Structure 1
Amino acid sequence: MAVEFCLGGFSSIVSEGAKSLFKPIIRQISYVFKYQSYVDELKDQVMQLGCKREMVQQPVNHARLQGDELYEGVADWLHSVDEFISEGVANSIIDDENGAKKYCFKGLCPNLLSRYKLSKKAAKAAKDAADLVGKGNFSSVSYRPAPKSTEYMQVKDYEAFDSRKKVFQDVLEALKDDKLNIIGVYGMGGVGKTTLVKQVAKQVTEDKLFDKVAMAEVTENPDHQKIQDKLASDLGIKFELNESIFDRANRLCRVLKNEERHLIILDNIWGELKFDEVGIPSGDVKKERMDDQRRCTIILTSRRQDLLRNVMNSQKEIQIDALSKEEALHLFQKIVGDSMKTSAFQPIAHEIVGRCGELPVALITLAKALKNMSLETWKYVLRQLRSSYAKEIDGMEKNVYLSLKLSYDLLGNKEAKSLFLLCGLFSEGHAIPVSSLLRYGMGMGYFRNVYTPEEARSTVHTLISKLKSSCLLLDGDAEDEVKMHDVIRVVAVSIAKEELMFNIPNVADLDKKMEETVQEGPIAISLPYRGIQVLPERLQCPRLELLLLLEKGGGSMPISDHFFDGTEGLRVLNFTGIHFSSLPSSLGRLINLQTLCLEYCRLKDIVIVGQLKKLEILSFRGSDIERLPLEFGQLTRLQLLDLSNCRRLEVITPNVICQSWLHLEVFGMAASRRV
């Protein structure tokens, strides 16, 4: 202390000019006598660097999980920090601190040389650490890369038939025409419009005719937000969490008007879609600058030419017809394989192909169902196609419907059939989450010899593979999703209705439709995104086993306390996006309920759920629950509990999990970080 005091005093009495001269000398002297200060400063900087690294690493980990790219500066900074730590310079200096405290000359004199070396190293290491801390202030660590069109526009089952080559070339030529910015492709359902425009997208990307390509399905009941999400994903745009649909549209429009050339494909148009509400620029090419218009070109697909021309204002419509008889037979033969080489099969194949209307979706689906089947099965299929049983629905030819229905019949596997009908209860154009199929299927008891979620997960993936191989399901945009061709979906909804499983359409008089449906004695009712304002006082469906009511969370919905009276047989219940003032007291009477999903709901008191003692699957995903009450300890059969994104959850009553939920296998708490 005396030495340090002398150094301070000496520094204070010299002139400012002398200070600059003596400063290096003072610093060198301070290395000997102030070594502890340098070591302490290093410790402090190392601790700050560790905290800063953790603060940066958390969003980096999240970004990597989301598939985002790190900014180069962030990656370089992490690498520099790792190098600083791995070299171990700071730790070795700190470890040598005790050595510097030792005295020499039999303890009469401090080891000045050791202190000098240690202090000098510590000062340099502390400065390096401080510099790294200062450089670690990042407002953002990552960005969402734009997807490569050739990666997400994977085209399956595309055959370059002569009838398709001309249409394909016509579309390409139209895209090169500067006078056209809205092009329509039309043809009957299942003729291959989607497959063709995907192939066009792949080709123009490879030819660099456009810088970016984005594609979204519109469907019969357009969801503007869903369309925006898909286009944004393809274009590499990331919307803010609370960004309004209007602001999203403006941002999309600005991107599509920039210097890049964009191709927007809107698939499966059923009625008028206002481009400006989605965010797609589409001005009159005769009135606006040509270079602006060529920055965004639109392809529309529909079953109706008049809709494209008169409502959507397309400047050119290109028709895609059914395959020729020769092309249809070739496609059918390619799929069924060796069976066609046998003379007994050939005449049957010719007639089956003809009765499928030369439509690819019917041909491919039925051919995959008949592959490796016996001659008797082929004869059975032909007899069915000849029968008068076939019916016409939604403008679909009778034999097209029946050919797809026969593909379902030939599945054989009852579990696969049940899963297919379950898919028909989802909203048109919406992805079908595999997790929902698992939860509903378990609750309905569809899977034989399956007793745990893990076993069910394996079964569901096996069944999905079977349905995909039969072309009754398609790959989804994400790994944990599947999709259904709109023509296949029509068939699924029709067959499900015969089995008393009803997907209630978007009708004007929903109350009347619900009343009619209840009188049918339904086993399942699905009301996906129908904008329901009020539900009946009592449901009174004694045979009902599954009820799905999915909303977008737009507001509260009054539900009578007596709503579930007369539905004691219910096994699966999903209320999504509903703002409950309170859960109906009749919910406690659902003594057979095995799957309950209250997702993205506003919930207050959930104590009543504890009365549902047969529950095996319970999901509060995205809901605003704050606590799991003690009464949940009665749910001793619970196997799957999903608390993902329950951001307000703070309390889980002690001992409920460890003592009561002995069979719990899945406890999803991602993003529920406050517990």
Structure 2
Amino acid sequence: MDAVSSALLEPVTNSVLDLIKKQVDYIRYRRNFDELDECVKQLKHKKEIVDHKCEEAVKNGHEIEGKVREWLGKVGKFETEVEKYRKDDGHKKTRFSNCLFLYFWHRLGRLAKKMAVEGKKITDDCPKSDEIAYRVYVTSNDAILSNNDLMDFGSRKSIMEQIMATLVEDPTVKMIGVYGRSGVGKSTLIKAIAKIARDKKLFNVVAFSEITDNPNLKQVQEDIAYPLGLKLEGEGENVRADNLRRRLKKEKENTLIILDDLWDRLDLNRLGIPLDGDVDDNDLSKKTNSDNQGPQGPTKEKSLGDYKGCKILLTSRKQNVLTDKMEVKLTFCVEELDEKDALKLFRKEAGIHGEMSKSKQEIVKKYCAGLPMAIVTVGRALRDKSDSEWEKLKNQDLVGDQNPMEISVKMSYDHLENEELKSIFFLCAQMGHQPLIMDLVKYCFGLGILEGVYSLGEARGKISTSIQKLKNSGLVLDGSSSIHFNMHDLVRDAALSIAQKEHNAFTLRNGKLDDWPELESSGTEMICFSPFTDCSFTKLKTIKVEKCDQLKNLFSFCMVKLLASLETIGVSNCGSLEEIIKIPDNSDKIEFLKLMSLSLESLSSFTSFYTIEGSSTDRDEIQITVAENEHSEMAPPLFGELVEIPNLENLNLISMNKIQKIWSDQPPSLRKLKGLFVSNCKMEKIFSTEGNSADKVCIFPKLEEIHLDQMIELTDIWQAEYCKGLRNLMASSTAKSLVQLKSMTISGCDELEEIVSNEGNEEAEQIVFGKLITIELVRLKKLKSFCSYKNYEFKFPSLEVLIVRKCPWMQRFTEGGARAAKLQNIVTAYEVGKEEAKWQWEGDLNATIQNVWEDQLSIFSILAHECLKNGHNCSLHIKHPSPINS
């Protein structure tokens, strides 16, 4: 009986004991509070990690998972409850001397215990890193479709409805063509159709690609793959096409592919767009398995007409491209706007409210001819113009061979605010389809088009403003991304025509000359060409050569005297070009007396400005030597003793891998050099002065700016002396790239204020000159510091010699930190023969130089010896220099 009673009472007793223990635990207020505090800290750390992952995902365009948002909501609610708990007035009453403190211990301890349990559960439920976000499924090229500016035109409504009905309602039609003259609005129309199809979900996927006269098949494949969410693997064209074809054939819903601006036949199969009768390899495998398994036999593969997948919308200027070359059965013609719609669009672009006068309507008819592109260009050119401007246009006679687009572009061109913007416009017209804005910056900066601009940072800002002005004028269009811009073919052709007629210029694009004007006089000022004959070019000012792969040299020796007015030479992407000019043996010096700007870019065979015919230093011998040793001293410099360019102001070298050095000595022809830009070249030295006599030491009295970029093999910049206009030696990006630099010597540069300049609002970071051994700064009257930007910390782990002499304004080495690990203490002698004085090394260069400055040593030199007598400790010696004659 006792055993039975014991068995019955034991659970009750245990429950009571557990309850009492729990209540006692609640009274342990301080311990429970500390446990809650620790739980909150752990949860806070987890939340910070999730927050960082969420921020990263959002920046990459990904969406946050719903359960992550829910978890963050729970965390926020829990943090609010904890904050409310901490502000509870009962915490103050836990210190009462009467028995009431037990009540508050119990109540607050109980709350803390329960909240700690809840916090631990939330912490344990924290999402894993791979569960934070997901990639958004893109179904269209939104950046392209969002730029559509189609107005509600009555003359466009009918054709839009017909095309939409055919695309959506007729399953038998798989390819539709739209044609019409250039500038009539085909691209705008089909982008509007694509936008409607996307917004109304008439197609699951809408892909858009611009083909142009020189299609880039790889880019077209990327444009189609992007809205499909497909990442094309491999570089092979067939591999990429096969991946794209497989993906399109597996698409369960409707897919609309728009190929805009076809000029000729485009092989859709080569792109990877499935055609009638295409069979997927997977399905073939299934057929084989089916044949082997039983009597049912293979199922016939669906053709393009059988499955729900692809519809293709094509546009072209010519109907026969669609019907004959692309075999499109159904085409639609886009006509010019009727008079009502033309005036409606013109009023919008010209900012005219209300009705237009009859005379103004006549001007629209006269100059625009119903072409939307011409209407936009003319309308923007006449915005806010006076009545006298309108009257002038009305009375102006048109030249017989002028087309409406050329007239409208000429009108906008005439209203551009200055010659600089006009030059930028002409340069844009030379740059092809979807050019990079940064390329335009480099061309304008290199060719000296931008007045008063002396750095790439300033050039970027000015070009950005200029492009916006050209867009506002209707002469330039938005590009496929923020780093590109575009120009309509009609505008480009009109611009080149204007250049030819008004500036005696003619152009060559991609090595093909469409029209070689008859040069009866010598009035040409700008020419962009491939090899030309020895004509008279006495007034030729600019030579620009691009993509002429067979060109060996720019011009013959006998032509030099004919180029008396030549001011600018720009050559790029000519793979066979070996020199600018080939000089006969035993010839006199050649002179380019007015040449001010020289730009060379991506010339893979180029080694020097000139070579000598019959020279013992044969080019093949040089190339063999350079191949064996990339930095051979036998390699010729860019300039030599037989060429003089006395007025050269700007020199730009980009991706010139066979140039080993710019010059071996300093001929008088380079003393007017103001700007030097060298990027992505493999040279170890910019200037080489070894073995030169005193009268040939590098002297650049006019030099104002140097840009060195991606010079990963550079070991020695120069010994810069007497560069009177130089304000800074290098930008921060240049400094970061000088990983091989061993020595730097600068003297007599009166305007130099700092060595390293800040290019923009960069964040705090370290700049390390890992191999720099020697720095010598002498007679720099305005030098304030090595760098004035506070957020840069400099490290010189190999620095052994630092000479600073006659730099009266240099109170600190840098405004940020500066460390040189091998420098430990300072020794100085005020006069020769006097006892040396010592300063304690202050830990970095800034503190040490500040200490010396405070002792009023405004003229000093600092020398770092490799080691003291014991061979271990390095030291810094400061000696008062004897006067030096200037």
Output the TM-score relative to the length of structure 1.
0.69
**Residues 162-181 of structure 1 aligned to structure 2 (within 5 Å):** 162=155, 164-175=156-167, 176-181=169-174
154 and 563 in structure 1: CA distance in 2 versus 1, 3 angstrom threshold: same
SS of 1:215's partner is strand
Residue 316 (structure 1) aligned with residue 341 (structure 2): no
Counterpart in the other structure of 1:640 = 759
117 and 504 in structure 1: CA distance in 2 versus 1, 3 angstrom threshold: farther
Q: In 2, are the aligned partners of 1:185 and 1:317 still within 8 Å (CA)?
A: yes
379 and 118 in structure 1: CA distance in 2 versus 1, 3 angstrom threshold: closer
Counterpart in the other structure of 2:118 = 128
Calculate the aligned-residue CA RMSD, in Å. Answer: 5.9
Q: Which amino acid aligns with 1:300?
A: L
Q: In 1, are the aligned partners of 2:421 and 2:466 still within 8 Å (CA)?
A: yes
Q: Which amino acid aligns with 1:200?
A: I
1:413 pairs, out of 418, 430, 437, with 418
2:371 pairs, out of 350, 355, 359, with 359
407 and 65 in structure 1: CA distance in 2 versus 1, 3 angstrom threshold: same
More off after superposition, 257-266 vs 484-493 = 484-493
SS of 1:69's partner is strand
CA distance in 1, matches of 2:121, 2:719: 56
SS of 1:188's partner is coil
SS of 2:116's partner is helix
Counterpart in the other structure of 2:548 = 510
Deviation at 1:318, TM superposition (A): 2.8
Q: In 2, are the aligned partners of 1:93 and 1:118 still within 8 Å (CA)?
A: no
Counterpart in the other structure of 1:3 = none
Counterpart in the other structure of 1:386 = 399
CA distance in 2, matches of 1:632, 1:45: 60
Higher strand share: 2
Deviation at 1:341, TM superposition (A): 5.4
Q: What count of residue pairs does the alignment treat as equivalent?
A: 619
Q: Which amino acid aligns with 1:511?
A: D
1:473 pairs, out of 437, 460, 476, with 476
1:582 pairs, out of 666, 678, 682, with 682
| CA offsets 1:266-308 (integer angstroms, 9 cap, x no match) | 2122345454665544445997356764322111222344443
2:79 pairs, out of 82, 85, 88, with 85
418 and 571 in structure 1: CA distance in 2 versus 1, 3 angstrom threshold: farther
CA distance in 1, matches of 2:22, 2:340: 94
CA distance in 2, matches of 1:547, 1:64: 42
38 and 343 in structure 1: CA distance in 2 versus 1, 3 angstrom threshold: closer
Q: Which amino acid aligns with 2:374?
A: A
Deviation at 1:244, TM superposition (A): 9.1
| CA offsets 1:404-454 (integer angstroms, 9 cap, x no match) | 244323324334323323433544134x44x66667656766566778999
Q: Which amino acid aligns with 1:123?
A: K
CA distance in 2, matches of 1:625, 1:244: 37
SS of 1:386's partner is coil
CA distance in 2, matches of 1:502, 1:585: 37
Greater RCO between the two (CA within 8 Å, min separation 6)?
1
| CA offsets 1:153-184 (integer angstroms, 9 cap, x no match) | 4432546253x445434422431321222222
SS of 1:194's partner is helix
Residue 265 (structure 1) aligned with residue 258 (structure 2): yes
CA distance in 2, matches of 1:40, 1:620: 50
Q: In 2, are the aligned partners of 1:210 and 1:261 still within 8 Å (CA)?
A: yes
CA distance in 2, matches of 1:539, 1:22: 106
Deviation at 1:580, TM superposition (A): 5.8
**Residues 477-488 of structure 1 aligned to structure 2 (within 5 Å):** 477-478=480-481, 482-488=485-491
Q: In 2, are the aligned partners of 1:564 and 1:587 still within 8 Å (CA)?
A: no
CA distance in 1, matches of 2:194, 2:324: 25
Deviation at 1:511, TM superposition (A): 2.3
SS of 2:130's partner is coil
624 and 231 in structure 1: CA distance in 2 versus 1, 3 angstrom threshold: farther
Deviation at 1:194, TM superposition (A): 0.3
SS of 1:123's partner is helix
Q: Which amino acid aligns with 1:171?
A: I
CA distance in 2, matches of 1:259, 1:666: 55
Residue 237 (structure 1) aligned with residue 242 (structure 2): no
Higher helix share: 1
| CA offsets 1:82-115 (integer angstroms, 9 cap, x no match) | 2222333598399999997x7968xxx9987666
32 and 146 in structure 1: CA distance in 2 versus 1, 3 angstrom threshold: same
More off after superposition, 532-541 vs 367-376 = 532-541
How many percent of aligned residue pairs carry the same amino acid?
24
Counterpart in the other structure of 2:211 = 218
CA distance in 1, matches of 2:474, 2:462: 18
1:288 pairs, out of 299, 302, 308, with 302
Q: In 2, are the aligned partners of 1:219 and 1:269 still within 8 Å (CA)?
A: yes
Q: Which amino acid aligns with 2:178?
A: V
CA distance in 2, matches of 1:249, 1:197: 27
Output the TM-score relative to the length of structure 2.
0.55
1:193 pairs, out of 177, 186, 190, with 186
624 and 453 in structure 1: CA distance in 2 versus 1, 3 angstrom threshold: closer
SS of 1:185's partner is strand
Q: Which amino acid aligns with 2:380?
A: K
More off after superposition, 316-325 vs 579-588 = 579-588
Counterpart in the other structure of 1:156 = 149
330 and 34 in structure 1: CA distance in 2 versus 1, 3 angstrom threshold: closer
460 and 378 in structure 1: CA distance in 2 versus 1, 3 angstrom threshold: farther
Q: Which amino acid aligns with 1:135?
A: D
**Residues 428-467 of structure 1 aligned to structure 2 (within 5 Å):** 428-430=433-435, 432-433=436-437, 462-467=465-470
1:489 pairs, out of 489, 492, 513, with 492
CA distance in 1, matches of 2:371, 2:118: 70
Q: In 2, are the aligned partners of 1:366 and 1:404 still within 8 Å (CA)?
A: yes
